[in-house]
Amino acid sequence: MRLTKLGHACVRLEKDDRTLVIDPGAFSEAASALSGADAVLITHEHFDHFDGDALRKALADDPLLEVWTSRVVAENLADLGGRVHQVGHGDAVTVAGFDVHVYGEDHEILHPDVPPIPNTGFLVDGEVFHPGDALTVPSETVPTLCLPGNAPWMKIPELYEYARAVAPERAFVIHDGLLNDVGLAVMETHVGNAGKEAGKEFRRLKPGESVDL
- What would the pLDDT profile of 95-129 be if each residue is shown by its tens digit? 999 999 999 999 999 999 999 999 999 999 999 99
How many structural domains is the chain composed of? 1
Is residue 171 a contact partner of residue 195, using CB atoms and an 8 Å limit?
Answer: yes
Domain residue limits at 178: 2-212
Q: Which of these ranges, 15-24, 26-35, 124-133, 176-185, has the smallest mean pLDDT?
A: 26-35
Average pLDDT over every residue of 176-204: 97
Q: How would DSSP label each residue in 20-31?
A: EEE---GGGTHH
Residues 126-166: tens digit of each pLDDT: 999 999 999 999 999 999 999 999 999 999 999 999 999 99
Measured CA angle at 85 (ends 144, 76), to 5 deg: 105
Cβ contact 92:123 at 8 Å? no
* The predicted structure's pLDDT at residue 10: 98
Give the angle 208-209-213 at the CA atoms, nearest 5°: 130
Q: Where are the beta strands (DSSP E) in the chain?
A: 2-5, 11-15, 18-22, 39-42, 66-69, 84-86, 92-95, 98-103, 121-124, 128-130, 144-148, 170-174, 201-204, 210-212
Q: Distance between CA atoms of 54 and 85, rounded to whole angstroms?
A: 18
Q: For the chain, what is the total number of helices (H) and then of strands (E)?
A: 5, 14
pLDDT bracket for residue 30 (50, 70, 90)? confident
- The answer, yes or no, to whether residue 196 has pLDDT greater than 90, is yes
Looking up residue 184, the CATH number of its domain turns out to be 3.60.15.10
pLDDT mean over 42-62: 96
Cβ(121)–Cβ(103) below 8 Å: yes
Whole-prediction pTM value? Answer: 0.97
208 φ, ψ (degrees, to nearest 5): 95, -10
